[in-house]
Amino acid sequence: MAVLVTGGLGYVGSHAVKHLVDRGEQVVTLDNLIFGHTQAASGSEVVVGDIGDKDLLRQIFSKHSIDSVMHFAAFADVGESVADPKKYYVNNISNSLAMLDVMLEFGVKMMIFSSSAATFGEPEIVPIPEDHPKNPTNPYGRSKLMLEEILREYEHAYGLRAISFRYFNASGADPSGLIGEDHKPEHHLIPLILQVALGQREKISVFGSDWPTPDGTCVRDYVHVSDLAQAHLLGLDALRNGKGTTEYNLGNGNGYSVREVIAVAEEVSGKSIKSVDADRRPGDPAVLVASSEKIVKELGWEPKFPDLRTIIQTAWNWHNTHPNGYSGK
């Protein structure tokens, strides 16, 4: 049976595709290339197209014996979602619903969904457990929470079983150096910091230095993208063994401040990284750290790269050898 991976030419999806291909799964990768890179396919069969295109999906499901979908395709820029919520609800909800329609038409009833720590909003308890109250502070986070809730109802009504993985800060790159992070525009802290180390950016802005944290800067939980990919394999196995719909947090349970991340990036790259203090961004929680005990206990997830230095080292190896990402050295 084949696995359909939507958004599989993007950052996290391409790492899951590589893990699937490496363990001998048949993989069909569907991506509209808005942000994806064909070089990130790891030998999987690529279909260029949109998850909202029902006819295309019918062709894919007719041609391949697909038993499950890993659903990464979405827009994921929090700030943009506030300025243009329609874009987020259309892509992350309407297009996902179109795909779910075709899955049901073809009796495909297993899905792994890329959800987010943004479903929680401002945490009341840290580390954040799965059953923590959900109060997303932006349309992006709300779109992820809505799809989680839709998936719960689809299990009850149609027997479609789904695992929603709430990633904290996905980071690092595959240790092979073959694939990595290439977002244009880039919004994630580690690649932005490494752009300064590469001389592509003059400085990094630190949004808020008066947060109630040890050094005043925001604290986040960085989780290696290969560990996320590994969790997807465990999730797929669990669904194939009959696991019902559920949600898991994916993080390391360790928080690092912006200044700590910059310091480690300086050590790893051997470059000085200039930073400037800027105003807080509205809606940014001071601390976001996951409790991932549930997946460790239930699925035996064991992160291989929990250490920040290793995460940044793999990211640096990728960015240093691919300073322009996939579009040439």
Alpha-carbon span 301 to 111, nearest angstrom:
18
Q: Which of 88, 140, 222, 248 is catalytic?
A: 140
Q: Binding of ligand NAD at residue 91 (CB under 6 A)?
A: yes
Q: Binding of ligand NAD at residue 50 (CB under 6 A)?
A: yes
CB closer to ligand NAD out of 3 and 12: 12
Q: Cβ neighbours of residue 110 under 8 Å, at least 6 residues apart?
A: 67, 68, 69, 160, 161, 162, 236, 239, 240
DSSP symbol at 281:
P
Residue 313 has φ and ψ, to the nearest 5°, of -60, -45
User: Where does this chain touch ligand NAD (CB under 6 A) — which range of 3-11, 21-29, 287-295, 302-310?
Assistant: 3-11
Could you count the other beta carbons within 10 Å of the beta carbon of residue 327?
10
Alpha-carbon span 160 to 69, nearest angstrom:
11
Alpha-carbon span 73 to 56, nearest angstrom:
15
Q: Binding of ligand NAD at residue 318 (CB under 6 A)?
A: no
Q: Binding of ligand NAD at residue 301 (CB under 6 A)?
A: no
Selected from 16, 17, 32, 138, the binder of ligand NAD by CB under 6 A is 32
Determine how β-strand 219-220 pairs with β-strand 256-257. Answer: antiparallel
CB closer to ligand NAD out of 5 and 160: 5
Can 11 be counted among the known catalytic residues?
no
Q: Binding of ligand NAD at residue 170 (CB under 6 A)?
A: yes
User: Where does this chain touch ligand NAD (CB under 6 A) — which range of 9-17, 130-138, 279-287, 308-316?
Assistant: 9-17
Residue 163 Cβ, how far from ligand NAD at the closest point, in Å?
14
CB closer to ligand NAD out of 195 and 216: 195
Of 94, 95, 143, 91, the closest CA to residue 116 belongs to 143
Residue 270 Cβ, how far from ligand NAD at the closest point, in Å?
26
> Do 285 and 121 form a contact (C-beta atoms < 8 A)?
yes
CB closer to ligand NAD out of 74 and 110: 74
Place of tokens 């396919």: 41
Could you give the 3-state DSSP secondary structure of residue 242?
coil
Restricting to residues 175-204, which ones interact with ligand NAD according to CB under 6 A?
183
Could you count the other beta carbons within 10 Å of the beta carbon of residue 299?
18
Active site residues: 140
**Contact residues for ligand NAD (CB under 6 A)?**
6-7, 9-13, 30-36, 50-52, 72-74, 76, 91, 95, 114, 116, 167, 169-170, 183
